[in-house]
Every structure is written in structure tokens, then in C-alpha cells.
Amino acid sequence: MFKIKVPAHFTIPVSLSRASGGVWTDGKWVETVLPPTKISVSWQALTPSDYRLLPEGESPLGAFKAFWNGTFVTGVDGQYRSDHLIVNGINYKLVAILDWTSGGYTAALFTELKP
């Protein structure tokens, strides 16, 4: 019997862009966005059941599931934007946080942010 150990590198480096409050200026809410933070996520394709969790009108073509050992933040009452991940120069927005408690990771769905 062979005992083979293969290093597990299932994560990719990405940049996390997060809003941090904001101020009202001339009757409009202006977000304060923190500088991007480097994190590592496990990037996976969506399962068939994940597709039904995408908001109506969101394209599934640029969608993926990310697992991270931190906490993703969703928008609050339209005043804050959800977290964004920047992967290879492409901006993705958080659209759903999944019920996932295994191994201390948070799972979330992201879709490509169209310019």
C-alpha cells in the first residue's frame, strides 16, 4: 500500500473590496470604500441548486461560489454595498450568503459586476 501526500492548495488569492459606511452629501449617500484587502478563497462552480439563489436578472455566466474563513458582508437597507471580490482584474459582487458551517468557512455566491 502506498501512502502519498499531496499538498492541498485549493485557494486562490483575490482582493476583497468592502464599503465602510459613508456620508450624506447634497442629499445623496456617498460610500466610503476601504482599500482592497488580499485574501484567499476557494473558488468553485455553482451547483444546480445554487442557480436558483441568484437574484432575478443576474447573469449566471459570471457566477461562482467562494469559500473563505472570514465573514462576507451584504448590503444593509440600500445604504451599504455588498462585498466585492476582484479576481484577475474582474470585479464580482456578493449576491447571496449560503448556510454553510463546515470547517469555519463562509460560503457565498458572487456574480460578475457589469460596467
- Mean pLDDT to the nearest integer, 108-113: 92
Q: Is the pLDDT of residue 82 over 60?
A: yes
> What's residue 110's pLDDT?
94
Assigned C-alpha cell, 103: 470547517
Domain 12-18+27-112 maps to which CATH number in 3.30.70, 3.90.550, 2.60.40, 2.40.10? Answer: 2.40.10
Q: Is the pLDDT of residue 100 over 90?
A: no
Assigned C-alpha cell, 59: 447573469
> What's residue 86's pLDDT?
93
pTM of the model: 0.79
The Cα–Cα gap between 3 and 15 comes to: 36
- The Cα-based distances of 20 to 33, 55, 60, 80, 98 in angstroms read 6, 24, 28, 8, 22
Q: Is the pLDDT of residue 20 over 80?
A: no
> What's residue 7's pLDDT?
47
